[in-house]
Structure 1
Amino acid sequence: MPEIEEVLPKYLQISGYIRNQIERGELAPGAEVPSERELAASWHVARPTAARALNELRQRGIVESRRGSGTYVVDRSALPAARERGDRARQYGSAYSENASVTVLEAGMVDGPVWVREGLAVAVDGSVLVRKRLVSNDSGVAELATSWFSAALAEIAPRLLDAERLPGGTVGYLESVTDHRVSYARDRVSARLATADERRHFDLPRPAAVLVYRLALHEADDAVLQFDEVVYPSDRWEFQQEYSTRS
């Protein structure tokens, strides 16, 4: 077992080590992860620190806890497609495949939604930086994606204001030019009626339902670095999961 380094918080070093084991295949899908007690003993840390490391992995959707049993590696092939999109953004810095056609519709300063300003800790009368993209594939227009950032990033990451696709994605770009690093993410999926703008882009009738996927990318101190809201036409998107029914 490696020794604790002082570069990162201890819980992040532990969670990173376990994550690397999973990525290398040393811990396969369904394999049990060391318990809080085992991690605390082997890494010479307090149990709350070990618990926080496991919680970090749970928040990332990498492991899951089973009551009365333990913590196990999640089978990534059984994750919803929207969660896979978030995984790509966190792992590769871009939520889109290289062959996707991405058109930047807007890049600039705006008054963002209340939930975005609150999450970014922006004053009520403050502006946020927005990037809005239309993503198409072989089947046509696939999604309408909007990302919000703190306005303070405009000065240190000016390419966010460019109306063109960023190689490596916004996360990759931000981490290459700033000290900001994504530590974990939270997402939420819901459905609602399409707005007039969404109906126009997706060529939908009125009324029409859309699927809305929100992703918040957090830094280690829990601050939100980037908010994403991705809208999908309901007739071109669905969830599919396979899982065991055995207890």
Structure 2
Amino acid sequence: MPKLEQSKPPYIQIFENLRGQILRGELTPGDPIPTLRTIADDWGVSQVTASKAVGLLQEEKYVTVGGPGLRTTVRDPKNLHRNGRDRAKSVRRTGRIYTVGEYAKITSSEVVPAPADVAAVLGLQGVEPTAIKRVRVTYGPDDKPVSASISWFDGALAERAPKLLVPERITEGTWGYVEQQTDMKATRGRDQISTRLATEEDAELLDIELPAAVKVSTTLLWTADDVVVEYGVSVAGPGRESTYDYDLADEAQ
């Protein structure tokens, strides 16, 4: 029987154990995960706690919950596109920003003169404002690029958050790192999604042939004082789906 620790809520420990089995390939796409009864018996918890763990696996896009009489199975992540809200929730709950099988490479990270639109969004002042520009390419389980993004930050953060200028992945996510280094805590965000034809730069980063359509997700994260923590623009190639879960309980009449 797995042993629960005092340091974390039981459902988080169960979630992390099952997630580990998925990441290690012990459970592969299409495999059923243990039933709620089995999880509850194995861990010595209630089925309510087991259900919370499985619910978190679903929210993090690791599994697909079946209908009545059907098992919950490991999800194939190759066509999944996660938006800023998904990644933000992942950082808050698990300390990780990427889903199963994903990894990223930072292709560049530097302080540059802020483009006019970036300066306006970030509220940068001065004659020649600067911004930190991080370019990231995210790869799927098949090692093919699935999205490319540019994250923009106030250039003044370079001293307090020096890792932003290192072209290496930040495990907890860039804005999660900024929170650790400063008092800028993100409290709300907004995603705007549109489509357009891919540019030559998009095609090079995503390894796609032109002409092609791409999905563009623009993410803004603010503090409670309306200061922009991060401004990000992500481009995903053809065939990537976005999934949005929502609760209608409060809408029932």
Give TM-score, length-normalised by structure 2. Answer: 0.59
The structural deviation recorded for 1:92 is 5.1
Aligned partner of residue 120 in structure 2, secondary structure: helix
* CA-CA distance at 1:238 after TM superposition: 4.6
State the 1:102 CA deviation: 1.1
1:131 maps to 134
In structure 2, the residue matched to 1:186 is 190
SS of 2:167's equivalent?
coil
CA drift of 1:243 comes to 8.8
What's the C-alpha RMSD, in Å, of the aligned pairs? Answer: 3.0
C-alpha contact 1:145 1:231 (8 A) present in aligned 2:
yes
Q: Give the 3-state SS of the residue equivalent to 2:233 in structure 1.
A: strand
Alignment partner of 1:87 is 2:54: no
Runs of 4+ in 1 over 6 A off after TM superposition: 240-244
Counterparts of 2:206 and 2:244 in 1: how far apart (Å)? 22
Give the stretch that moved more between structures: 107-116 or 156-165. Answer: 107-116
Return the offset for 1:167.
2.6
State the 1:94 CA deviation: 5.2
Q: Distance in 2 between matches of 1:112 and 1:145?
A: 17
Residues 45-91 of structure 1, C-alpha deviations (whole Å, 9 max, x = no match) = xxxxxxxxxxxxxxxxxxxxxxxxxxxxxxx96x9953423433555
- Name the SS of the counterpart of 2:152 in structure 1: strand
- For 2:88 and 2:181, the matched residues in 1 are separated by 22
The alignment status of 1:148 with 2:184, answered yes or no, reads no
Confirm or deny: 8 A CA contact 1:213 1:231 kept in the other structure: yes
**1:33-72 pair list within 5 angstroms:** none
Work out whether residues 97 and 172 of structure 2, in 8 Å CA contact, stay in contact via their aligned partners in 1: no
**Match of 1:183, SS?**
strand
Q: Secondary structure at the match of 2:186?
A: coil
Matching residue of 1:157: 161
Contact 2:214 2:236 in 1 (8 A): yes
> Once the 2 structures are TM-superposed, how far is the Cα of residue 184 of structure 1 from its aligned partner?
0.8
Q: Is the 8 A contact 1:146 1:228 kept in 2?
A: yes
Shift of 1:235: 2.4
1:102 corresponds in structure 2 to: 104
SS of 1:103's equivalent in the other structure is strand
How far apart, CA to CA, are the structure 2 residues paired with 1:188 and 1:228?
A: 11
1:121 partner letter: G
TM-score by length of 1: 0.60
Provide structure 2 residue ranges, at least 5 long, that are not aligned to the other structure. Answer: 1-57, 62-80
Partner letter of residue 205 of structure 1? E
Q: Would you say the 8 A contact 2:124–2:154 is kept in 1?
A: yes
Match of 1:115 among 107, 114, 117: 117
Q: In percent, how many aligned pairs have the same letter?
A: 31
